Amino acid sequence: MNPNHSSAMTGPPAAQQPDWPDTAALRRAADDLAALPALVAAEDCDRLRERLAAVARGEALLLQGGDCAESLAEAGPDTTAAKYRTLNLMAAVVSEASGLPVIRLGRIAGQFAKPRSSPTELRGDVELPAYRGDMVNGPAFTAAARTPDPDRLRRVYHASLGTLNDLERLTAADGGEFWTSHEALILEYERALSRLTPAGRYALSGHLLWIGERTRRPDGAHVAFAARVRNPVAVKLGPSSTPDDALRLIDLLDPDREPGRLTFISRMGAGAVRDALPDLVAKVAASGAEVVWVCDPVHGNTVSSPTGHKTRRLDDVLDEIRGFLEVHRSLGTHPGGFHLELTGDHVTECVGGTYEIRFEDLPTRYETVCDPRLNLGQSLDVAFELAAMYTASPVTDRGTTWATV
């Protein structure tokens, strides 16, 4: 794995790219995708950008959620409907309590690629390439499954198309808008599904694409790609982010200062959010840029259970949300929304909740292929806790009236 892999001879470095063993096959897969219909419409990306502009103005909230990594084996109408209904229920609860419209954005129909802390995984004395999401390789711990396979680009395209069809049926039945998003990680996939339209270039693999914590360097290939497309885009900001990083990203990704174009997803961890976030939000606000601030209260709170399962405590998730709201309250800025890893099923991957999952319960239904997801009950716990926070401190004007949270 070459961390400075550059996918074009002269392009900027692209972090977290797989070592594809057959680059000719990769080229053929990308060419096939480039000739297939785009997955979403450019006009819909524009419409989502308008909705996000309302969030930037403090007139709406964003709820973004879904699997850490979608799975080809699990893809289908039932899992899609379960995730859709979970987000729908959460949005209804939060909207009722806050009095604000809630925009529903799935981590769905394309969330098939993962950045990893380590390029390899060691079990006993066997070392294999890390699982990088079903767009790249398979989760089974065998050399065959872990070898990056370019045909997977085609498979996730078709699975995403099926999911989009299912989502269309679901939204037609209840009349609401629902948008799709994923991390723009594998550049061959994203470039192959970008299209030049009369209004400019769009990444048409999803409505909103985000850049992850591990690929957000301002001089990197992911930021360069996002800068070239007109979709709404987001960037994760972890505890090492500096105000200067944020301001550079604004200049690169939102040079025209278009409200709704750029979202920052803060993922600091419950222990760091109150210290790390205020300076970022204050300096961005002082620059005059109108970005959307979203809280991802899961990625900074991953721990290992005594049984070695990757997990998260619901209490930490809620504490980071509270910290995020406190920071915005004290600065008079709008806490624009929430980004969560969740599923509509009754999995046992995170601990805590009204129907409490304990460390010892984790093996019962631990089904994620990457990070632990909140189950249906835990997702609703988050929604009702949010409702309680909004009821205690009503939003009346740009989120400035957070008396207590």
Ligand X SMILES: C=C(OP(=O)(O)O)C(=O)O
Q: Contact positions toward ligand E4P, by CB under 6 A?
A: 68, 114-117, 299, 370-371
341 is in an annotated binding site: yes
Q: Which does 117 bind (CB under 5 to 8 A by kind): Mn ion, ligand E4P, ligand X, none?
A: ligand E4P
Task: For residue 49, state whether it binds ligand X (rule: CB under 6 A).
Answer: no
Distance CA(218)–CA(265), nearest Å, equals 16
Distance CA(316)–CA(189), nearest Å, equals 35
Distance CA(109)–CA(38), nearest Å, equals 13
Distance CA(267)–CA(319), nearest Å, equals 12
Pick between residue 214 and residue 261 the one whose CB is nearest to ligand E4P.
214
Q: Which does 191 bind (CB under 5 to 8 A by kind): ligand E4P, Mn ion, ligand X, none?
A: none
The single residue among 190, 213, 349, 371 that binds Mn ion, judged by CB under 5 A, is 371
Which of 189, 188, 193, 281 lies closest to 231, judged by CA? 193
Site for Mn ion, residues 36 to 95, rule: CB under 5 A: 68
Q: Measure the CA angle with vertex 151, ends 150 and 156; round to 5°.
A: 105
Q: At 218, which amino acid appears?
A: P
Distance CA(294)–CA(143), nearest Å, equals 38
Task: For residue 68, state whether it binds ligand X (rule: CB under 6 A).
Answer: yes
In angstroms, give the least distance from the CB of 284 to ligand E4P: 24
Residues 6+ apart with CB under 8 A from 329: 335, 393, 399, 400, 402, 403, 405
Site for ligand X, residues 131 to 190, rule: CB under 6 A: 183
45 is in an annotated binding site: no
The single residue among 70, 166, 190, 213 that binds ligand X, judged by CB under 6 A, is 213
Q: Measure the CA angle with vertex 37, ends 44 and 82; round to 5°.
A: 60
3-state secondary structure at position 189: helix
Pick between residue 70 and residue 326 the one whose CB is nearest to Mn ion.
70
Pick between residue 51 and residue 267 the one whose CB is nearest to ligand X.
267
Pick between residue 77 and residue 115 the one whose CB is nearest to ligand X.
115
Pick the piece of the chain touching ligand X (CB under 6 A) from 46-54, 208-216, 319-327, 360-368: 208-216
Distance CA(109)–CA(70), nearest Å, equals 8
End-to-end Cα spacing for the chain: 45
Asked if 159 contacts 71 with a C-beta cutoff of 8 angstroms, the reply is no
Distance CA(106)–CA(108), nearest Å, equals 5
Separation of CA 161 from chain center: 19
* Token representation of residue 181: 């998003």
214 is in an annotated binding site: yes
Query: Residues 236-255: x/- map of binding to ligand X (CB under 6 A)?
Result: x-------------------
Q: Which does 267 bind (CB under 5 to 8 A by kind): ligand X, ligand E4P, Mn ion, none?
A: ligand X
Pick the piece of the chain touching ligand X (CB under 6 A) from 43-51, 151-159, 206-214, 394-402: 206-214
Pick between residue 33 and residue 370 the one whose CB is nearest to Mn ion.
370
The single residue among 11, 115, 176, 377 that binds ligand X, judged by CB under 6 A, is 115
68 is in an annotated binding site: yes
From the number of C-beta atoms within 10 Å of its C-beta (0-12, 13-18, 19+), residue 17 rates as buried
- Nearest residue to ligand X by CB is 212
57 is in an annotated binding site: no
* Token representation of residue 168: 């269309």
Alpha helices in 229-266 (DSSP H): 243-253
Q: Work out the angle between the directed axes of helices 273-287 and 314-331 (0-180°, nearest 10).
A: 40
Task: For residue 83, state whether it binds ligand X (rule: CB under 6 A).
Answer: no
114 is in an annotated binding site: no
299 is in an annotated binding site: yes
Pick the piece of the chain touching ligand X (CB under 6 A) from 164-172, 212-220, 248-256, 359-367: 212-220
Residue with the two structure tokens 């405590």: 313
| Known binding-site positions for phosphoenolpyruvate | 107, 213-214, 236, 267
Binding stretches for Mn ion (CB under 5 A): 68, 371
Binding stretches for ligand X (CB under 6 A): 68, 115, 183, 212-214, 236, 267, 299, 371
| Known binding-site positions | 68, 107, 213-214, 236, 267, 299, 341, 371
